[in-house]
């Protein structure tokens, strides 16, 4: 709003809307039509629609931001939303507009997340949606088509079952790096070791990043993540192929893209300094919806726990304050360490019934698992939530590539400890592992790599299994 006011765009937009010219607001583009918002404020909006935009209340354990696929309940017949009643669309926001008597004539659909909130408005030619049609797969594309061709009937998609909760997400992950020939490839490790166990010790090559990402989008992945796994040593802005991968992928993949690896301050060989914010901005400009920070978030959390002071200077804090915490994922790479008793370590432990040793803690690592740090996954998760992380990608080095299932103890411990969404990662080997992690933990999403790359389990089989198991997913 500051920018719109200072450039005169606020008045121009008000006048444009009053003249009933075609308008489609997306996410913040819906929120700024209201009287005011609590975000960084109160801040006055354009004042076109009566009402206040409020933060979701996480005090009663609600996971905030609201990230993922939620089903639309259409309350008014509109051209824009033809054929999509009950479909899942993609949301990513911490603030929401509440329905009231004063704005009820504007509302064209609502959605439920603890309370009902306004998911779209429509009045004459003025349309706005809280979700992201550009990231909502075929359903979102049909909504955009409806907006662009006012007379078209829109893509007639089959009616879907209505849903009432946020769907659990299935995420395909692509670990990307250059192989020994210098080609950027999708690789996959066993406990983070991505080299073949043959005499040549080549980096495993499981395909081309953009081809695989496009295929997973078509197969029904709810999100795609790229991890630039050598980012800790190869500066990403020097690694232009990775930016190119993002640009090409975002032209073909209409679900959210996350990219991680190498987000930190850096001085190149010519003495030019790049802030982590510049690195993240370049990733966003190239098509990323979220960035994921690994090593640098561990250092920031350690410093925060030591001093109790939020300096606002860490990459995590800076990127989150500029782009919003919904755009910042922290990727945790822990390794299980067994101990005899919880008193043996100053970190949160869990009881591991399957092992001889009774307890374990989960020691965080940096630089792709190479260096262990004096902080546990539980402590890290809580600290990064305070520093502004919007989501946690929870890997487990012991389980990575093993196909024996997610580390339920770890996922439960972390997902019970924070109120931001947790993505369970590492170890998926069968469809049952996905239902297990959703049934036994508070995870919002489950991520897999190897089983998809090796074509052992198609994404559609995972979704079908979850539907049969009574877990809500986007189909
Ligand atoms: O530290 O900010 O530069 O970020 C580096 C990023 O790269 C981190 O997110 C880190 O997890 C990742 N990374 C670094 N080295 C590796 C490696 O494998 N050698 N990959 C690596 C992490 C784990 C998952 C994997 C799941 C699922 N890979 O991404 O996809 O474990 O696998 P599975 O389903 O086959 O079991 P920074």
Q: Alpha helix locations (H) across 105-208?
A: 137-148
User: CB of 365 closer than 6 A to ligand 1?
Assistant: no
What mean pLDDT comes out for the span 108-129?
95
Q: Whose CA is nearest to atom 10 of ligand 1?
A: 368
- In angstroms, how far is CA 94 from the centroid of its own chain? 13
CA distances from 460 to 135, 174, 436 (A): 19, 18, 17
- Residue 88 known to be catalytic: no
What mean pLDDT comes out for the span 267-289?
93
- Residue 27 known to be catalytic: yes
pLDDT at 299: 98
pLDDT at 405: 98
- If one counts every other C-beta atom within 10 angstroms of the C-beta of residue 228, the result is 28
Interval between CA 451 and ligand 1 midpoint (Å): 15
pLDDT band at 36 (very low <50, low <70, confident <90, very high): very high
114 Cβ neighbours under 8 A, 6+ residues apart? 56, 57, 60, 62
pLDDT at 159: 45
Among the residue ranges 75-89, 238-252, 334-348, 460-474, the one predicted with the least confidence is 238-252
Q: What is the H or E stretch that residue 346 is in?
A: none
User: CB of 236 closer than 6 A to ligand 1?
Assistant: no
What mean pLDDT comes out for the span 360-385?
97
Atom of ligand 1 nearest to the CA of 187: 18
- Residue 132 known to be catalytic: yes
The alpha carbons of the chain give a radius of gyration, in whole angstroms, of 22
Among the residue ranges 140-154, 288-302, 356-370, the one predicted with the least confidence is 140-154
Interval between CA 71 and ligand 1 midpoint (Å): 31
The string of pLDDT tens digits covering residues 379-403 is 999 999 999 999 999 999 999 999 9
What mean pLDDT comes out for the span 423-427?
98
Of residues 321, 254, 328, the one with CA closest to residue 291: 328
- If one counts every other C-beta atom within 10 angstroms of the C-beta of residue 83, the result is 17
User: CB of 373 closer than 6 A to ligand 1?
Assistant: no
134, 190, 234, 265: the catalytic one is 134
Interval between CA 229 and ligand 1 midpoint (Å): 6
User: CB of 434 closer than 6 A to ligand 1?
Assistant: no
Q: Whose CA is nearest to atom 7 of ligand 1?
A: 229
Atom of ligand 1 nearest to the CA of 403: 36
Interval between CA 276 and ligand 1 midpoint (Å): 19
pLDDT at 158: 42
Pocket mutation for ligand 1, best pick of 178, 186, 194, 400 (most atoms within 8 Å of C-beta): 400
pLDDT band at 151 (very low <50, low <70, confident <90, very high): very low
User: Which DSSP string corresponds to 282-337?
Assistant: HHHHTT-SEEEE-HHHHHHHHHHHHH----S-SHHHHHHHHH-GGGEEEEE-EEEE
User: CB of 426 closer than 6 A to ligand 1?
Assistant: yes
Three-state DSSP class for residue 195: strand
Residue 291 pLDDT > 50, yes or no?
Answer: yes
CA pair distance 311, 300, nearest whole angstrom: 9
Contact by Cβ (8 Å): 450, 403: yes
Query: Which percentage of the chain shows pLDDT scores above 90?
Result: 86
Among the residue ranges 91-100, 143-152, 403-412, 432-441, the one predicted with the least confidence is 143-152
Atom of ligand 1 nearest to the CA of 232: 3
Of residues 325, 335, 331, the one with CA closest to residue 419: 325
35, 111, 175, 222: the catalytic one is 175
pLDDT band at 335 (very low <50, low <70, confident <90, very high): very high
Residue 353 pLDDT > 80, yes or no?
Answer: no
The vertex-28 CA angle with 101 and 174, nearest 5°, equals: 130
pLDDT at 1: 94
Torsion of CA 408, 409, 410, 411, to 10 degrees: 40
Of residues 315, 193, 318, 183, the one with CA closest to residue 260: 315
Among the residue ranges 10-19, 317-326, 352-361, 388-397, the one predicted with the least confidence is 352-361
Residue 44 pLDDT > 50, yes or no?
Answer: yes
pLDDT band at 163 (very low <50, low <70, confident <90, very high): low
CA pair distance 126, 253, nearest whole angstrom: 27
Query: Which percentage of the chain shows pLDDT scores above 70?
Result: 96
Please give the structure tokens belonging to residue 402.
């093993």
CA distances from 176 to 94, 228, 261, 401, 433 (A): 31, 5, 10, 15, 24
What mean pLDDT comes out for the span 419-429?
98
What mean pLDDT comes out for the span 284-294?
97
Residue 286 pLDDT > 70, yes or no?
Answer: yes
Contact by Cβ (8 Å): 459, 171: no
What mean pLDDT comes out for the span 32-42?
94
Interval between CA 263 and ligand 1 midpoint (Å): 14
What is the ipTM metric for this complex?
A: 0.98
- Residue 222 known to be catalytic: no
User: CB of 296 closer than 6 A to ligand 1?
Assistant: yes
pLDDT band at 152 (very low <50, low <70, confident <90, very high): very low
User: CB of 194 closer than 6 A to ligand 1?
Assistant: yes
Torsion sign, CA atoms 281, 287, 291, 295: negative
Q: Whose CA is nearest to atom 19 of ligand 1?
A: 192
Q: Whose CA is nearest to atom 23 of ligand 1?
A: 395
Q: Whose CA is nearest to atom 26 of ligand 1?
A: 426
pLDDT, averaged across the chain: 93
Residue 150 pLDDT > 90, yes or no?
Answer: no
CA distances from 112 to 38, 165, 349, 442 (A): 20, 7, 36, 18
Interval between CA 431 and ligand 1 midpoint (Å): 21
Residue 357 pLDDT > 80, yes or no?
Answer: no
User: CB of 368 closer than 6 A to ligand 1?
Assistant: yes
Contact by Cβ (8 Å): 316, 293: yes
- Residue 115 known to be catalytic: no
Among the residue ranges 214-223, 235-244, 294-303, the one predicted with the least confidence is 235-244
pLDDT at 157: 45
Q: Is 239 exposed, middle or buried (0-12, 13-18, 19+ CB in 10 A)?
A: buried
DSSP state of 193: B
Interval between CA 425 and ligand 1 midpoint (Å): 9
Interval between CA 167 and ligand 1 midpoint (Å): 25
Residue 41 pLDDT > 90, yes or no?
Answer: no
User: CB of 295 closer than 6 A to ligand 1?
Assistant: yes
Interval between CA 209 and ligand 1 midpoint (Å): 15
């Amino acid at each position: 709003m500051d920018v719109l006011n200072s450039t005169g765009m606020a008045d121009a937009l008000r006048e444009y809307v009053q003249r009933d010219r075609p308008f489609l607001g997306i996410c913040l583009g819906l929120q700024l039509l209201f009287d005011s918002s609590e975000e960084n404020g109160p801040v006055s909006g354009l004042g076109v629609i009566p009402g206040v935009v409020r933060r979701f209340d996480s005090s009663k354990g609600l996971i905030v931001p609201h990230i993922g696929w939620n089903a639309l309940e259409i309350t008014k017949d509109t051209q824009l939303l033809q054929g999509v009643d009950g479909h899942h669309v993609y949301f990513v926001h911490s603030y929401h507009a509440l329905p009231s008597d004063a704005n009820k004539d504007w509302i064209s659909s609502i959605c439920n997340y603890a309370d009902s909130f306004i998911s779209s408005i429509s009045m004459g030619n003025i349309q706005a949606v809280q979700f992201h049609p550009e990231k909502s797969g075929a359903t979102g594309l049909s909504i955009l088509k409806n907006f662009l061709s006012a007379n078209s009937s829109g893509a007639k998609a089959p009616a879907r079952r209505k849903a009432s909760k946020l769907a659990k997400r299935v995420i395909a992950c692509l670990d990307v790096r250059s192989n020994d020939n210098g080609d950027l490839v999708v690789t996959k490790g066993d406990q983070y070791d991505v080299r073949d166990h043959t005499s040549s010790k080549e980096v495993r090559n499981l395909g081309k990043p953009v081809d695989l990402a496009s295929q997973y989008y078509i197969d029904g992945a709810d999100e795609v993540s790229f991890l630039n796994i050598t980012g800790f040593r190869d500066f990403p802005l020097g690694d232009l192929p990775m930016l190119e991968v993002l640009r090409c992928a975002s032209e073909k993949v209409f679900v959210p893209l996350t990219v991680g690896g190498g987000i930190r301050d850096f001085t190149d060989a010519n003495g030019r300094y790049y802030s982590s914010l510049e690195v993240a901005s370049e990733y966003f400009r190239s098509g990323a919806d979220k960035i994921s920070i690994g090593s640098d978030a561990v250092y920031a959390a350690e410093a925060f726990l030591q001093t109790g002071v939020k300096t606002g200077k860490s990459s995590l804090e800076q990127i989150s304050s500029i782009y919003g915490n919904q755009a910042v994922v922290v990727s945790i790479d822990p390794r299980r360490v067994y101990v005899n008793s919880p008193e043996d370590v100053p970190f949160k432990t869990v009881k591991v019934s399957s092992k001889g040793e009774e307890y374990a803690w989960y020691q965080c690592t940096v630089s792709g698992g190479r260096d262990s740090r004096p902080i546990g996954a539980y402590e890290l998760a809580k600290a990064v939530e305070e520093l502004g992380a919007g989501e946690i990608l929870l890997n487990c080095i012991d389980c990575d590539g093993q196909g024996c299932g997610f580390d339920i103890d770890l996922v439960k411990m972390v997902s019970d400890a924070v109120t931001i969404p947790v993505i369970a990662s590492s170890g998926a080997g069968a469809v049952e592992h996905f239902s297990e992690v959703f049934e036994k933990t508070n995870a919002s999403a489950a991520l897999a790599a190897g089983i998809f790359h090796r074509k052992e389990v198609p994404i559609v089989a995972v979704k079908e299994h979850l539907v049969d198991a009574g877990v809500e997913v986007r189909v």
